Amino acid sequence: MKRLWLVPVLLFVNLAWAVDVEVRFTDDREQPLRDAVVALVPEAGTVSTDEVAQAVMDQRDIRFVPHVIAVRRNTAVSFPNSDNIRHHVYSFSPPKRFELRLYHGTPSEPVVFDQTGQVVIGCNIHDTMLAYIYVVDTDWFGVSGDDGRVELADVPPGNYQLEIYHPRYPEPYRESVTLNAGQPFSQQIQLSPLEPGPRERAADSELERLFRR
């Protein structure tokens, strides 16, 4: 049974127009949780998305850096290869299936993500390389850092869908929230339970193989 606790805390009234939003993530053990994605999708009116934004998913030391990024729809993400070996970056995720065959350096064309959703990025040569790109349809989004916090500044007041994603939290979470002018919005969210990380899982299974002998 997956559960989500939302703990709204109303601190004080700010008379300014814009609203500062802060979401704090913790894991099962109430430790700050990184790589959690927050997106505030306005319920009324759409955000102009024709403009192509830019994002980068670097590959360094046989890893994708960063591990998780969130991008606005229609963002062109480039996959520069900082390693001196080749990588074969691919994704079979429905929002964006693509394949960047063995290459050095930065490929000529960045990949444009025009569908919202989770895109799992892998390397065909290095099974352990794994990255997540969450494509959202809003300008207000962020990824939690090591302190588990996401801060969104100057969000216009109004009604929003608060969307939350995490690679180890399989169900996307959506909630309607209202941002009142002058009232900072702060929320603490515990994601529980979290699935084990794929790398850990891979390690486990190797271990298990040994045990099974």
Partner 1 sequence: MGRRYRVKSYLVKLLLWMLALVLLLEASSYLTTRVAIRDAVTANARAELARGGEVFSRLMDARAEQLALSVTVLTDDFGFKEAVASNDAPTIRSALINHAARIQADLALVADNQGVLVASTLEAPSEALDGIIARGDATGTRYDTVIINQRPYQFVVSPVRAPVRIGTAGLGFEIEDSLSESLKRLTGLEVAFVATGDAPRYLSGTLDQDERQALLEHLAAGAPEFGEPFINREMMTLRVPIAAAPDSLEAVLQVPLAEVLAPYSALDRQLLWITLGFSLFAALLAWLLAGTVTRPLRTLAAAARRMAAGDYDTPVQIESRDEMGQLAQGFTRMQRAIAEREREITFRAQHDALTGLYNRAQLTPLLEAELADASTGGVLLVDIENFTALNDALSPEMGDQILVAVAQRLKALAGTGERVVRMGSDEFALLLTAADVDDEAALANRLRGLFLAPLAIGELRVNVEVKAGLVHYPADGQAPDALLRRANLALQAADARRCPICRYQSGWDERHARRLMVFREFREALADGQMQLYYQPKISLAPPPIVAAEALVRWIHPREGFINPDDFIGTAESTGQITLLTRWVIDEAVGLLARVPALHLSVNLSAMDLLESDFVDDVRATLARHQVAPERLTLEVTESALMVDPTQSLATLHQLKALGTPLSIDDFGTGFSSLSQLKKMPVSELKIDKSFVLQLDSSDDDQRIVRSTIDLAHTLGLTTTAEGVENAGAEALLRQWGCERVQGFYYARPQPEADFLQWLQDHSGQEK
Q: Which is nearer to partner 1, 124 or 161 (CB)?
A: 124
Tokens of 17: 């127009």
Residues 75-94 that bind partner 1 (CB under 8 A): 90, 92
Tokens of 98: 């693509």
Q: Which is nearer to partner 1, 75 or 118 (CB)?
A: 118
| Residue from the set 28, 43, 127, 200 that interacts with partner 1 by CB under 8 A | 127
| Residue from the set 110, 122, 142, 184 that interacts with partner 1 by CB under 8 A | 122
Among 20-28, 36-44, 114-122, 139-147, the segment contacting partner 1 (CB under 8 A): 114-122
| Residue from the set 39, 130, 155, 179 that interacts with partner 1 by CB under 8 A | 130
- Is residue 5 a contact point for partner 1 (CB under 8 A)? no
* H or E element in which residue 200 lies: helix 198-212
Residue 132 to residue 213: CA distance in whole angstroms: 35
10 Å CB burial of residue 153 (0-12, 13-18, 19+) is: exposed
| Contact between 167 and 132 (Cβ < 8 Å) | yes
- Is residue 205 a contact point for partner 1 (CB under 8 A)? yes
DSSP 10-29: ------SSSEEEEEEEE-TT
Residue 193 to residue 178: CA distance in whole angstroms: 27
Question: Which amino acid belongs to residue 89?
Answer: V
- Is residue 55 a contact point for partner 1 (CB under 8 A)? no
User: Which is nearest to 130 in space by CA: 87, 173, 78, 82?
Assistant: 87
Q: Min. distance of Cβ 92 from partner 1 in angstroms?
A: 4
| Residue from the set 1, 84, 208, 210 that interacts with partner 1 by CB under 8 A | 208
3-state secondary structure of 179: strand
- Is residue 206 a contact point for partner 1 (CB under 8 A)? yes
- Where does this chain bind partner 1 (CB under 8 A)? 90, 92, 120-124, 127-130, 198, 201-202, 204-206, 208-209, 212-213
